[in-house]
Amino acid sequence: MATFRKYGPSGGTPESPCVRNCCLDNRDICLGCGRTLEEILHWNQYSPQQREQAFRRASQRRDADSTPHFPPH
């Protein structure tokens, strides 16, 4: 599971959860941070509340997807 700093140096605004392991799956979800392509593209326009919501969703996705995926035979 990827870990990331939730808040920037100022402590108030959530910074990007990017862990520099960017690779989108077939659902356009980043395997590194768990954000959707839409969340990644719009991150800089999000309010602090929207960023907090995106953090929660990404965390839930990473937790739900923590099992290894193997290609079908």
What's the average model confidence in pLDDT over 20-48?
Answer: 94
Q: What is the pLDDT of residue 49?
A: 93
- State the DSSP string of 17-46: ---S---B-TTSBBTTT--BHHHHHHGGG-
Strand, coil or helix: 3 = coil
Q: What is the pLDDT of residue 2?
A: 45
Give pLDDT tens digits for 37-62: 999 999 999 999 999 999 999 999 98
